Chains A and B, each alone.
Chain A
Amino acid sequence: MDFGFTLSPSSAVNLDTVDHARYDRLVQLAPDALTCIGCGSCSATCTAAPWSGMSVRKVILCLQRGRDEEVDAMLSRCMLCGKCTMVCPRGINTRHLILTLCRLDRKGEVVR
């Protein structure tokens, strides 16, 4: 039946249905991802962030919220310069984290 309008999809994160497989595999391979406090130093210092939207902080958060499309878009814009690794107060090897993540598909399988 056509009511003449459509509903926008909900933007809410439903933790009941979020698939953590990729995040779980990431923290197996790069366990320091677990220590992120979301301070934003990585994004603030990122050379590419103001134009590309790259943010390691958001990558780690989006993974936990099942936002894989946003994760993949951000990862594709990283130049791997490693500046974020230098500023992280928790000493996370963000460059290794990004490279590890690039090798995983959305189910957490190592494909590259």
Chain B
Amino acid sequence: MVNRTPVIAVIGAGIAGLEAARQLKDLGYKPVLIEKAPVVGGHVAEWNRLFPDLSPAADLVQSLSKGAGSVKTYTDTEIASMGRLKDGYSLILGNGETLLCDAVLFATGFHLFDASKKEEYGYGIYDRVITNRDLEQWFNNRHDPRVANPKAVGFVHCVGSRDVKAGNTQCSKVCCITAIKQAIEIKEEFPEAEVYCFYMDLRLFGKKYEDFYIKAQRDYGIHFIRGRVSEVGEAIDGRVVVKAEDTLNGKPIKVTLDLLVLMAGIVCNPDAQHYAREIGVAVDEDGFLRSRDNVSSIVESSRPGVFYAGACTGAKTIPETLAEARSAALTIHQYFNKRK
């Protein structure tokens, strides 16, 4: 290896990219962050509060971007193309610059499923149907008049997740707990409202999640109905009528709501697939990037010098993503130590 500080291109300045860049910088490397959006922080920057402690998302993004403060960062910058070199990779950026690097870290994250693709749920058709992201924006700025003083609110789990027809067979992992968080927040805002969660399976696997679930049942009286919503219609007064099967009772169930929140799931980022193909990195059948081993080396690709952090390999929570970002930085460190 040449006697200079290795350069690592970190693609994406969401929470995975920011944390990995900070760690790489602290380990003595030269990370370069490339972000297509005008601001850093990714999806988390759009969120209001985080489960399970209702901590402000802005605080996390602020501390992560402060940590990566001295890292060279390109925002509002697309990658025009990527290529392989003998001992590294070259990236041609949208601004015309060429970046030569010794390793590439994919921190390309995910896309939120486009809920209008599930036409039977009426997003973009009925006024009172919104998504989890729309609700977070309302928590942030209180602008959306559709959220005004609802008497009955529903949450639909698994929108675009575990759904063959939506093209995403994976569980998005975070929607169950996000629905519970948002249901609790709605009850805090509107204590008189009846709140219903329609679920297929409740997957509350993380630290403190089960406590949060019990709190939703016991302290907030949120109703959990085991049945996937099959279709949504609009009543004459503009409210929405939701149909499901109450599968525990074995009977059809319907309810009229003032607001319906669709828990849009985590799907793969097509940009990541595109870059991966350009440099010969394998993509899994579900569209997420393929790890060298799904148990022992999730942050490594099969190609030398290409690494992953966060949701580019599949749906992840924030603590999982941050742990992977640190793990990826250490794995890159080992990679350069072996090359010395």
Contact = CB atoms under 8 A, between A and B. Distances in A.
A40 B228 contact: yes
Q: Classify chain B: how many residues form its interface, as a range.
A: 20 to 34
B164 A40 contact: no
Interface of A: 37-46, 49-50, 55, 57-58, 87-91
A18 B165 CA distance: 34
B245 A57 contact: yes
A68 B268 CA distance: 43
Contact of B228 (A41, A49, A50, A91): A41
B250 A58 contact: yes
A46 B227 CA distance: 14
Contact of A44 (B165, B166, B227): B227
B337 interface: no
Contact of A40 (B162, B166, B227, B231): B227
A50 B251 CA distance: 8
Given A55-B250, A57-B247, 15 more contacts: A39-B247, A40-B245, A40-B247, A41-B228, A43-B245, A43-B252, A44-B252, A45-B230, A45-B243, A49-B252, A57-B245, A58-B250, A87-B120, A89-B158, A91-B164
B315 to A, nearest CB: 16
Nearest to B163: A89
B230 A41 contact: yes
Contacts of A45: 230-231, 243
A49 B164 CA distance: 24
10 contacts: A38-B247, A39-B227, A39-B228, A39-B247, A40-B228, A40-B244, A40-B245, A40-B246, A49-B245, A89-B166
A43 B250 CA distance: 9
B278 interface: no
A74 B227 CA distance: 20
A89 B247 contact: no
Contacts of B230: 40-42, 44-45, 87
A44 B158 contact: no
Given A38-B247, A44-B243, A89 B165 contact: yes
A45 B244 CA distance: 7
Interface of B: 120, 158, 162-166, 200-201, 226-231, 243-247, 250, 252-253
B165 A91 contact: yes
Nearest to A45: B230
A37 B245 contact: no
Contacts of A41: 227-230, 244-245
A59 to B, nearest CB: 12
A112 B178 CA distance: 50
A43 B226 CA distance: 13
Given A44-B230, A44-B252, A55 B245 contact: yes
Contacts of A58: 250
Interface centre among B164, B231, B245 (most CB of A within 10 A): B245
The 10 A-B pairs with the shortest beta carbon distances in the complex, nearest first, are: A40-B245, A39-B228, A45-B230, A44-B230, A91-B164, A40-B247, A43-B245, A44-B245, A40-B227, A39-B200
A93 B192 CA distance: 42
Contact of A50 (B201, B229, B252): B252
A42 B264 CA distance: 21
Of B166, B230, B244, the most chain A CB neighbours within 10 A belong to: B230
A96 B158 CA distance: 26
A86 to B, nearest CB: 8
A109 to B, nearest CB: 29
A91 B120 CA distance: 15
Nearest to B225: A40
A57 B247 CA distance: 9
Given A40-B227, A44-B228, A89 B164 contact: yes
A40 B226 CA distance: 8
Contacts of A44: 227-231, 243-245, 252-253
A44 B252 CA distance: 5
Contacts of A91: 164-165
A80 B162 CA distance: 25
Nearest to A46: B252
